[in-house]
Each structure stands twice: as C-alpha cells, then as structure tokens.
Amino acid sequence: MIHDQSPSYEEIMQSLGFGSLGTVNWYVKTLEEQGYLYRVKGPNGKRALALAQEELSATTTACLPLLGLIAAGEPIEALENPEMVDVPSSLLHPDNYVLQVKGNSMIDENIHDGDYIVARKAKTARSGQIVVALVNGEATLKCYVPKKNKVELHPRNSTFPVIKIDSHDDFHINGVLLYSFRNYLN
C-alpha cells in the first residue's frame, strides 16, 4: 500500500520491472484465484486491490468444513459431513472447503487415497487445472482439459481412463484445487 492506497497496475509494473500490463493482470488474477488478493471496489475499480487475511499468520491454523468424499477414480456420490478440519490459516477463505480423497487416480500429483484437498468454489477453470467436477451428479477430482466440442477429465495415474464429457452429460465445475495434505496421525 502506498499512502493507504493500493498500487495501480502501472505502479506494480514499474516496481516489479514487468514489461506489460498484461503480465501484471495475469499475476493479479492468479493471486485473486488463490485467495491472496480481493477487489474492494468491484472488478473494474481503480486502486481496488486489497490483501486477504492480513491479520492471519501463515504459521497459525484455521478450520474449514469437510464437505465429504471426492473420488480420485470413478465418480462417486457427493456426501455432506459437518466435520471441521485444521488447515493453514493462509487457506482460510469463505469460498474454500475440504474434501477427503477416495481412490488413487491422482497419485502422479502426489494425491493419494485418504488425503485431504482444499478447493476454492469456482464454476470455471483454466485448462490443466485440477478441478472438483460433478459429472451426472457424482463428484470427481481430475485435471480439466477442454476440447473443441467436449471436455475431458484426465487422471494423473496411467491405469485410470480419461473421462470424456459430451453435451449429453450433466457437467459442472464446483471448485479448483488449492492444496492437498495427509494426516499421519490416523
């Protein structure tokens, strides 16, 4: 902050030595998606950026709701579970939630059966992002790969098939992966 104001994109570009405003925009959007920044004055407000969770330390923990199981294999029915799970405070955001992984289709991303993931609620994703997807009412964790007339959900384990979504399927993105962890105490 400069004089209690957020910096402009031009000031960010000059301070960080970037060559274009597009680069600044890409970093700002990424930081927003990850929950580190938010816009105080809407999407087009001047000097509208603010740091999220300024008062929280990265070493403290917070709790997020465990909403149930997410398949890392064949899709399974989404479950509701009111349990709270400790996560690093840097992940505390009203749009974040925790799911427990069931299956091993994402082991090449080091996400194993029994692990937990933190996801941010989202309806869209960029190609290559790992998403929480609903396919015909069943939740799955996969890599999102949009194609010309369809969507593919790719596992990160060569023993699992690619899920091909076409216009006949009921498909929704419910979130994007932010973080994964496992509990060694159980």
Local mean pLDDT, 10-residue blocks, the chain (186 residues): 69 80 80 74 67 55 79 58 77 87 93 93 95 92 93 96 92 94 77
Buried b / exposed e across 12-41, counting CB within 10 Å, b at 16+? bbeeeeeeeeeebeeebeeeebbbebeeee
pLDDT value of position 104: 93
- Residue identified by tokens 């709701």 is 65
Tell me, yes or no, if 105 is annotated catalytic.
Answer: yes
Catalytic entry in 105, 150, 164, 180: 105
Which domains can be identified in the chain, with CATH numbers? 9-51 (no CATH), 62-181 (2.10.109.10)
Report pLDDT digits (tens) over 135-155.
998 889 999 999 988 999 999
CA angle 32, 11, 15 (to 5 degrees): 95
What pLDDT score does 12 carry?
Answer: 81
Q: What is the pLDDT of residues 65-81, one digit of tens each?
A: 788 778 876 555 554 54
Q: What is the pLDDT of residue 72?
A: 73
